[in-house]
């Protein structure tokens, strides 16, 4: 009986949010940190999860939950950037997070290079390989065409490749 209940529930209803967080939360955190730096990225992550919980009942397709979460995250990152422009951090705070903008989101020089890519390429590469999104999902998150998403990923990789080869 439990298995029957489960398959029926899984087919018709949204999965328990706890499972969504377990399966996709790390990708959301990775994206937020890559886009907003370690400190602000953590804030973005929390805001994203709270907003997702708030609107969870409106999600129509449980299969699209990853792209949906990252779309919210992308919006929170933009909010964060705007807030920062409006109210620059106090000097003392800047000292603490002096590296926030440039610090690599991941250990290793490779992702540090990703962080220095032009914005669209950086975001596309981060979503593709950090968030594990398809080109179609990236297009949704970045509000571009699928071709443009594919191109941004490719150009980002090509640029990295050239840098690595050329030193």
Partner 1 sequence: MAERTSRSRRAARPTDMTNTRTTNDDLDAGIATLATELRAHALAADALDETRFARLRDCVATRALERGLADVAIACHDSPLGRIVLGATESGLVRVGLPVESEDAVLDELAARVSPRVLRAPRTVLDDARRQLDEYFAGRRHEFALALDWRLTASSASPSTKGRGRDGRPRPATGFRHAVLCATAAIPFGSTATYREIAARAGSPAAHRATGSALASNPLPIVVPCHRVLPSGGGVGQYRGGTEAKTRLLALEGAV
Q: Could you list the residues that contact partner 1 (CB under 8 A)?
A: 2-3, 5-6, 8-10, 12-19, 21, 25-26, 29-30, 42, 45-46, 49-50, 53-54, 56-57, 105-111, 114, 125, 128-130, 132, 154, 157-158, 160-161, 163-167
Q: Kindly tell me which of 5 and 85 has the beta carbon lying closer to partner 1.
A: 5
Q: Measured from the CB of residue 99, what is the shortest distance to partner 1 in angstroms?
A: 16
Q: Kindly tell me which of 114 and 140 has the beta carbon lying closer to partner 1.
A: 114
Across 67-161, where does the E strand assignment appear? none
Task: Give the separation between CA 94 and CA 165, rounded to whole angstroms.
Answer: 35
Using CA of residue 108, residue 125, residue 151, residue 79, what is the dihedral sign?
negative
Report residue 114 CA to chain centroid gap: 14
Q: Measured from the CB of residue 79, what is the shortest distance to partner 1 in angstroms?
A: 17
Q: Measured from the CB of residue 72, what is the shortest distance to partner 1 in angstroms?
A: 13
Q: Measured from the CB of residue 160, what is the shortest distance to partner 1 in angstroms?
A: 6
> Residue 120: how many CB atoms within 10 A of its CB?
17
Nearest in space to 114 (alpha carbons), one of 98, 134, 53, 105: 105
Task: Give the separation between CA 139 and CA 124, rounded to whole angstroms.
Answer: 9
Q: Kindly tell me which of 64 and 164 has the beta carbon lying closer to partner 1.
A: 164
Q: Kindly tell me which of 148 and 160 has the beta carbon lying closer to partner 1.
A: 160
| Residue that is written with structure tokens 């914005």 in the block | 119
The C-alpha angle with vertex 50 and arms to 55 and 36, in degrees rounded to 5, equals 115
Q: Measured from the CB of residue 154, what is the shortest distance to partner 1 in angstroms?
A: 7
Q: Kindly tell me which of 9 and 96 has the beta carbon lying closer to partner 1.
A: 9
């Amino acid at each position: 009986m439990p298995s029957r209940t489960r398959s029926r529930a899984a087919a018709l209803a949204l999965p328990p949010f706890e499972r969504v967080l377990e399966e996709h939360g790390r990708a959301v955190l990775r994206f937020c940190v890559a886009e907003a730096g370690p400190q602000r990225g953590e804030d973005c992550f929390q805001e994203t999860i709270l907003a997702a919980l708030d609107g969870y009942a409106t999600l129509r397709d449980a299969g699209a939950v990853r792209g949906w979460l990252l779309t919210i995250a992308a919006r929170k990152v933009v909010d964060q950037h705007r807030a920062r422009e409006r109210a620059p951090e106090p000097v003392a705070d800047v000292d603490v997070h002096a590296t926030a903008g440039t610090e690599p989101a991941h250990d290793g020089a490779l992702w540090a290079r990703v962080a220095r890519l032009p914005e669209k390429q950086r975001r596309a590469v981060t979503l593709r390989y950090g968030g594990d999104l398809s080109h179609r999902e990236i297009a949704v998150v970045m509000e571009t065409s699928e071709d443009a998403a594919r191109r941004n990923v490719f150009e980002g990789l090509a640029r990295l490749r050239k840098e690595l080869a050329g030193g």
